[in-house]
A and B are shown apart, each in its own frame.
Chain A
Amino acid sequence: MADKQNLVIIGAGMASGRLIERLVERDPNAYDITLFNAEPRGNYDRIMLSPVLSGDKTYEEIVIHDDAFYEHNRVTTRFGEAVTAIDRSAKTVAGQNGTVSYDKLVIATGSAPFIIPVEGKDLPGVVTYRDLDDTNTMIEAAAKGGNAVVIGGGLLGLEAAAGLAERGMTVTVLHLMGHLMERQLDETAGYLLRKDLESKGITIITEASTAAIVGTDHVEGVMLEDNTGLEADLVVMAVGIRPEVRLARDAGMEIARGISISPDMRTLGDRDIFALGECVDLEGHLFGLVAPLYEQADILADNLLGGSSSFIPKDLATKLKVTGVDLYSAGDFAEADDREEIVLRDANAGVYKRLVLKNNRIVGAVMYGDTADGPWFFDLIKRRTNISEMRDTLIFGQAYQGAEPLDPMAAVAALPDDAEICGCNGVCKGTIVSAIGDKALASPDDVRAHTKASASCGTCTGLVEQLLALTLGDAYNPAAVTPMCGCTDLGHGDVRRLIKAKNLKTIPAVMQELEWKTSCGCAKCRPALNYYLVCEWPDEYADDYQSRFINERAHANIQKDGTYSVVPRMWGGQTSSKELRAIADVVDKFNIPTVKVTGGQRIDMLGIKKDDLPAVWQDLGKAGFVSGHAYAKGLRTVKTCVGTDWCRFGTQDSTGLGVRIEKFMWGSWTPAKVKMAVSGCPRNCAEATCKDVGVVCVDSGYEIHFAGAAGLDIKGTEVLGLVKTEDEALEHIVALTQMYREQGHYLERIYKWAKRIGHDEVRRQIMEDTDKRRAYFDRFVYSQKFAQVDPWNERVSGKDKHEFSPLATLPLEAAE
Chain B
Amino acid sequence: MNAVTKNWVAVGMISDIPRRGARCVKNGDMTIAIFRTSDDRVFALEDKCPHKNGPLSQGIVHDGCVTCPLHNWVISLENGEAQGADEGHTRSFPVKSDGDTVLLGL
Contact = CB atoms under 8 A, between A and B. Distances in A.
Contacts of B53: 562
B2 interface: no
Contacts of B74: 523
B20 A523 contact: no
A581 B20 CA distance: 40
B61 interface: yes
A97 B74 CA distance: 67
Contacts of A520: 20, 38, 62-63
B40 interface: no
Interface residues of A, number: 29
A186 to B, nearest CB: 48
Nearest to B64: A519
A549 B12 contact: no
Contacts of B54: 560, 562
B105 to A, nearest CB: 11
B25 A808 contact: yes
B58 A522 contact: no
Contacts of A651: none
Nearest to A545: B18
Contact of B60 (A519, A546, A808, A810): A546
Contact of B25 (A521, A809, A816): A809
A90 B70 CA distance: 79
A522 B73 CA distance: 12
Interface string A759-790: 00000000000000000000000000000000
B24 interface: yes
Contacts of B7: 814-815
Given A522-B67, A558-B70, A562-B54, A806 B62 contact: no
By secondary structure, the A interface counts as loop
Contact of B63 (A518, A527, A809): A518
B57 to A, nearest CB: 9
A546 to B, nearest CB: 4
Interface in B54-94: 54-55, 58-63, 67, 69-70, 72, 74
Nearest to B24: A806
B73 to A, nearest CB: 10
Interface string B8-23: 0101100011111101
Interface in A508-565: 518-523, 526-527, 545-547, 549-551, 553-554, 558, 560, 562
A546 B21 contact: yes
A814 to B, nearest CB: 6
Interface size class of B (residues with CB under 8 A): 35 or more
Contact of B59 (A519, A523, A554, A560): A523
Contacts of B17: 802, 807
Contacts of B24: 806-807
Contacts of B26: 806, 808-810
B63 A558 contact: no
Contact of A550 (B1, B12, B19, B58): B58
A597 interface: no
A814 B106 contact: yes
B99 interface: no
A815 B1 CA distance: 11
Given A523-B67, A558-B69, A560-B52, A518 B62 contact: yes
B1 A816 contact: yes
Interface in A158-210: none
A712 interface: no
B4 to A, nearest CB: 15
A808 B11 contact: yes
B45 interface: no
B77 to A, nearest CB: 13
Contacts of B59: 523, 550
Nearest to B30: A810
A550 B58 CA distance: 6
Given A545-B18, A549-B69, A523 B62 contact: yes
Contacts of A810: 9, 11, 25-28
B16 A802 contact: yes
Given A546-B20, A807-B17, A816-B1, A558 B62 contact: no
Contacts of A808: 11-12, 25-26
B19 A546 contact: yes
B67 to A, nearest CB: 4
A806 B34 CA distance: 10
Interface string B23-54: 11111100100100011000000000000111
18 contacts: A520-B20, A522-B63, A546-B18, A546-B21, A546-B60, A547-B60, A550-B58, A558-B55, A802-B18, A806-B24, A806-B31, A807-B11, A807-B16, A808-B26, A810-B26, A810-B27, A814-B106, A815-B7
Interface of A: 518-523, 526-527, 545-547, 549-551, 553-554, 558, 560, 562, 802, 806-810, 812, 814-816
Given A546-B61, A806-B31, 12 more contacts: A520-B63, A523-B62, A523-B67, A527-B60, A546-B18, A546-B19, A550-B59, A553-B58, A558-B55, A562-B58, A802-B17, A810-B9
Interface of B: 1, 7, 9, 11-12, 16-21, 23-28, 31, 34, 38-39, 52-55, 58-63, 67, 69-70, 72, 74, 106
Sort A-B residue pairs by CB-CB distance and give the 3 closest, nearest first.
Answer: A523-B67, A807-B23, A550-B58
